[in-house]
Amino acid sequence: MTETLPRLLLRLSEAGDPAILWGRQAAPHAVRDFERLLDRGVLVEQAPATEWDVCPACDCGLGARPVRQIDGRPVAVCPTDRASDLVLGDDDLRSFRIVQAALVREIAMASGFGGEPAPVATGVWHVGETSNQRALFLALSRGAVLQPGIIGLMRSVARSSPITVIAPAMAATELARFAEAAIAVMPIDRCLGRNAAGFAIDISMLECAPALRPQLVIFRQSQRVVLDGIEMHIPQQPFKLLVMLAKAVGTRSGYLTRHQIEAENSGRGAADLVRELRHFLSHGREGRGADLIKTRRSPTGYFLALAPDEFVLR
């Protein structure tokens, strides 16, 4: 199955501006879909091409070969070998520039976001708020989402709201930068352009919280925790317990006994401390935070229910 026209435009846009759609790439798609995008300014037709790639194994030494009209048809002429001349079709010389701002406007409208998307930086837009009150940004290219200062710019637009950014696929080290900044990243591929709805963002994908690893980042120095992209402050005693539980992950037992916890927190019962930690971890979330700290029996103990690669202790 060929990819959808929205997906094709998004894929071409990932390389950055200007992104060009060639007539031959557009040809398999429904004429009405295509013309609608021309009408709406998402695609702007460029002057017909006057040059064409040289033949695969040519010794002509040209960077490109000229296109000439021969018998009423466009032909990419090989200067050294007439047999290598390539007769082109009507669509071949047509090309369309993808207008990024108009593409993003199309996505925002199709997704039901009321206002006009606001550019935050080159290639990055604030498209609106999700129903769970996250500021939603869209970056069309890797270059855009990785440009210096982008995290601060998104923060200043989002104010105190948590942030989700829809962006092309990134490497794990690049993703870690966003996790540390409490920004959730949703790959374009997973929520846009694949569905029958065309340009609409699949909002359900955003709301079931993108589970990009690491899910939990613990900053010991600043006593700060970022869980699934949401930043939370935890008071000193329960924070200390969380650090202890994180350190226990991957050890032989993998858990802490009541006695171990109480020895480090004079005067507080382990059950009481765990309850407090669960309370702070579940802040602003529907239960999952509390589920992170599990209880075990005989001997009674507590453990952090995450694999070693699902959290970062800094």
Distance CA 152, CA 46 (A): 36
Distance CA 285, CA 251 (A): 29
Q: How far apart are the first and last CA of the chain?
A: 46
What are the C-alpha distances in Å from 250 to residues 23, 171, 228, 310? Answer: 55, 25, 21, 12
Question: Is residue 265 near Zn ion by the rule CB under 5 A?
Answer: no
Question: Is residue 78 near Zn ion by the rule CB under 5 A?
Answer: yes
Question: Is residue 62 near Zn ion by the rule CB under 5 A?
Answer: no
Q: Please choose, out of 33-41, 59-67, 158-166, 220-228, the segment that lies near Zn ion by the rule CB under 5 A.
A: 59-67
Minimum gap (Å) between residue 46 Cβ and Zn ion: 25
Q: Which one of 84, 122, 260, 265 is in contact with Zn ion (CB under 5 A)?
A: 84
Distance CA 175, CA 275 (A): 31
Q: Please choose, out of 24-32, 70-78, 106-114, 296-304, the segment that lies near Zn ion by the rule CB under 5 A.
A: 70-78
Distance CA 102, CA 100 (A): 5
Question: Is residue 67 near Zn ion by the rule CB under 5 A?
Answer: no
Task: Count the helices and strands in the chain (H runs, E runs).
Answer: 13, 19
Question: Is residue 58 near Zn ion by the rule CB under 5 A?
Answer: yes
Of 57 and 196, nearer to Zn ion (C-beta) is: 57
Q: How many residues bind Zn ion (CB under 5 A)?
A: 5
What are the C-alpha distances in Å from 264 to residues 142, 233, 244, 260? Answer: 46, 21, 9, 7
Of 58 and 102, nearer to Zn ion (C-beta) is: 58
Minimum gap (Å) between residue 88 Cβ and Zn ion: 15
Q: Which one of 9, 55, 182, 293 is in contact with Zn ion (CB under 5 A)?
A: 55
Minimum gap (Å) between residue 78 Cβ and Zn ion: 3
Question: Is residue 86 near Zn ion by the rule CB under 5 A?
Answer: no
Distance CA 223, CA 127 (A): 32
* Residue located via tokens 């070969």: 65
279 Cβ neighbours under 8 A, 6+ residues apart: 290
Q: Please choose, out of 55-63, 106-114, 117-125, 232-240, the segment that lies near Zn ion by the rule CB under 5 A.
A: 55-63
Question: Is residue 200 near Zn ion by the rule CB under 5 A?
Answer: no
Minimum gap (Å) between residue 60 Cβ and Zn ion: 5
Contact predicate 233/250, CB 8 Å: no
Minimum gap (Å) between residue 82 Cβ and Zn ion: 10
Of 77 and 243, nearer to Zn ion (C-beta) is: 77
Which residues of this protein are in contact with Zn ion, per CB under 5 A?
55, 58, 60, 78, 84
